[in-house]
Structure 1
Amino acid sequence: MSNAAERIVEPGDQGAAPASSVEEGAPEGELLIDVRGLLKTFRVGFLRRRAVEAVKGVSFGVRRGEIFGFLGPNGAGKTTTIKMLTGLIAPTGGEAYLFGARVPSPEARRKIGFLPENPYVYPYLTPREFVELCGRLSGMRGAALRRRAMEVLDQVKIAYAADRQVRRLSKGMLQRTGLAAALVADPEMLILDEPMSGLDPVGRKEVRDLIFAERDQGRTIFFSTHILSDVEAMCDRVAILREGQVVVSGAIRQLLRGDVLRTEVTLAGASEGLLADLVAKGFATTRRGDVVVVDVEGEARVREALRASLAAGAQVVEVAPRRETLEDLFMRRAL
């Protein structure tokens, strides 16, 4: 794996801001988010004000028209970084730019639709009222605002509850209301903090489809999530945080190893004698109902496992090579 594909930041390297926030080999295009050496230190405690470094020199860039995934375990600094980007809190050091303007920038903020991790909606408002309120805060008025509010509520599949008080909505419905509010002003870029939170599998698919549709209309999507399968399926590039630092960033297709890590051979009718023979040969076996899965490391020994299985009269149901997934990369770099 080349350094052009994967940019790794070792702990303790957060001194000066880097010359570029985008890894070498990244596609060309207008840089809409440019974060360089961003730092955030909180003072915690009542009497003894202890310093806690939540973000330690984070750098990355997001280009126009891409879907960018921002990943990391709980406490890695993702939400803190997003709050600094959106101007909700001030950085301790470093700098960040949105649409070429240094954060905080009211002009840049007008071009952004933001969904926080835990959207708060006044409980006695309805989704329609809340979305229209957010539209008015963005300068929208009159019939155009009312029409647009219903358009985005329909887009996120909650128009049927447009006039139901928010306090009577489920967590997933509340998440959809927040997403509609992020879309109402027709932003150039969406910043979404855990957009799949509280959604069932159907809701997650609908939000994934919505994100693709928004990208196809020319919008740039920056989002954080814990659902790695969604990121692998959706994102062009990612940055992974660990303890407040970016530990790896780049294009997903370049970051993931293409070679086969292991092969799963699924057998039916495997006898206990065959299983004992496979274990003696160093293969891991797992019984799953009526079948047995043999875990073969790499590619070299697959033929050996198949030969032994067929000789013992077992039926080969499936031979499935497993390549590195984003979850493998995440576990390797973020934990």
Structure 2
Amino acid sequence: MSRDVIIETRNLTKVYRDFWGRPKVQALKALDLQVHQGEIFGLLGPNGSGKTTTMKLLLGLLFPTEGEALIFNEPTTNVAKNERIGYLPEESYLYKFLNAEETLHFYGRLFKISAAERTKRVGRLIDMVGLNSAKHRQLREYSKGMQRRIGLAQALINNPELILLDEPTSGLDPIGTAEIKELIRDLRSQGKTIVLSGHLLADMQDICDRIAILHRGELKELGKVTDLLTVQDVTQIKTKDLPEAALHEIRSVIARHGGELLAVDHPTTTLEELFLRIVRESDLHPGRRRVAEPPTRSGSPSPDELAGSSSKP
């Protein structure tokens, strides 16, 4: 195992059995992968594909049926490794009667962090996840998105080297999702290794360096996001202010070389980018709004035509 390999699985397999010990569900089948230091690694797949099972096997919460998993070059059964790991489960199991500060102090004491250091970390983490205005409210009053934020802060209280995040943006609105993704990038810049699991394609595409696609417990694809998303047999040409005559000439060149022109169109943005741009512009220009004009039916006079006709004698 190389020094820069933080996680390695070899033939990792998990079979859930019924009361009588008979195989019931094969949640994971012969998983082989490596996660390197300082990267954001994504476990991608639909519900039931084995993502959460993989997380629990890495943490030592489950025992493999076959194969093995190593973290920091140590077996996952070595509980000492957990002091170097932060974990955000799919559902945060937090004490609802505590507030945000009390929650983080509680988990900080479990890691035997001194009171002075806890106070500094708690304040920094609450500010980092954007809960300053709600830090004195009990968690039972939190929305699901706010619970994900305090859950993420709890996962970072021990300043971990490896961070495992199961559906980290679940329950967050687009603005909150963008903030959490930026926070994950910041953690990578600090040299931390992050493993994400999820099924939201846009989130994984934006922040992951490499992804593993799981389906029905099997590894279907593994590699860099840029490599997996590049369509190798299609060449895209972008131009600006190109006259029609030049475009016609390009079509002729493509046909002469035996190629096929698939499309010439305008680039598009994403719904997330559009939403965030509108929100940011609204913050810069409060009170400004756009009024949608009612569509006019074919053959019917438009409002301008009606106004023009009414002004005639």
- 1:130 equivalent in structure 2: 103
CA distance in structure 1 between the aligned counterparts of 2:262 and 2:267, rounded to whole angstroms: 10
- 2:260 equivalent in structure 1: 300
- 1:55 equivalent in structure 2: 28
- 2:157 equivalent in structure 1: 184
Which AA in structure 1 matches 2:172?
A: L
CA distance in structure 1 between the aligned counterparts of 2:234 and 2:94, rounded to whole angstroms: 46
Which AA in structure 2 matches 1:116?
A: P
- 1:234 equivalent in structure 2: 207
Question: For the Cα contact (< 8 Å) 1:260–1:321, is it kept in 2?
Answer: no
Segments of structure 1 that go 5 or more residues without pairing to the other structure are: 1-19, 21-27, 264-298, 307-317, 323-335
Task: Give the Å deviation of 1:106.
Answer: 2.1
Could you give the per-residue CA deviations for residues 59-99 of structure 1, whole angstroms, max 9, x where no partner exists?
Answer: 11100011101111110010011011011111111100111
CA distance in structure 2 between the aligned counterparts of 1:39 and 1:64, rounded to whole angstroms: 24
- 1:38 equivalent in structure 2: 12
CA distance in structure 1 between the aligned counterparts of 2:15 and 2:33, rounded to whole angstroms: 19
Cα distance 1:60–1:163, how it changes in 2: closer, same or farther (>3 A)?
Answer: same
Mean Cα deviation higher: 79-88 or 252-261: 252-261
Segments of structure 2 that go 5 or more residues without pairing to the other structure are: 237-258, 270-313
Pick aligned residue for 2:189 from 210, 216, 227: 216
Pick aligned residue for 2:130 from 157, 179, 197: 157
- 2:86 equivalent in structure 1: 113
Task: Give the Å deviation of 1:29.
Answer: 6.3
What are the residue-to-residue correspondences of 1:170-319 with 2, within 5 Å? Answer: 170-259=143-232, 300-302=260-262, 318-319=265-266
Task: Give the Å deviation of 1:101.
Answer: 0.6
* Aligned positions, number: 249
Which AA in structure 2 matches 1:66?
A: E
Could you give the per-residue CA deviations for residues 37-77 of structure 1, whole angstroms, max 9, x where no partner exists?
Answer: 11111123x67955221111111110001110111111001
Which AA in structure 2 matches 1:75?
A: G
Task: Give the Å deviation of 1:262.
Answer: 9.8
SS for the counterpart of 2:230 is: coil
- 1:290 equivalent in structure 2: none
Could you give the per-residue CA deviations for residues 292-324 of structure 1, whole angstroms, max 9, x where no partner exists?
Answer: xxxxxxx72457xx7xxxxxxxxxxx43499xx
CA distance in structure 2 between the aligned counterparts of 1:156 and 1:321, rounded to whole angstroms: 31
Task: Give the Å deviation of 1:204.
Answer: 0.3
Mean Cα deviation higher: 204-213 or 48-57: 48-57
SS for the counterpart of 2:266 is: strand
Q: TM-score when scaled to structure 1?
A: 0.69
What are the residue-to-residue correspondences of 1:7-46 with 2, within 5 Å? Answer: 30-44=4-18
SS for the counterpart of 1:255 is: helix
Q: TM-score when scaled to structure 2?
A: 0.74
SS for the counterpart of 2:91 is: coil
Task: Give the Å deviation of 1:161.
Answer: 1.1
Which has the greater radius of gyration? 2
Could you give the per-residue CA deviations for residues 94-119 of structure 1, whole angstroms, max 9, x where no partner exists?
Answer: 10011111112222211111100111
CA distance in structure 1 between the aligned counterparts of 2:76 and 2:103, rounded to whole angstroms: 26
Question: For the Cα contact (< 8 Å) 2:87–2:155, is it kept in 1?
Answer: yes
Mean Cα deviation higher: 128-137 or 171-180: 128-137
Task: Give the Å deviation of 1:241.
Answer: 0.5
Question: For the Cα contact (< 8 Å) 2:7–2:72, is it kept in 1?
Answer: yes
Percent identity over paired residues: 40
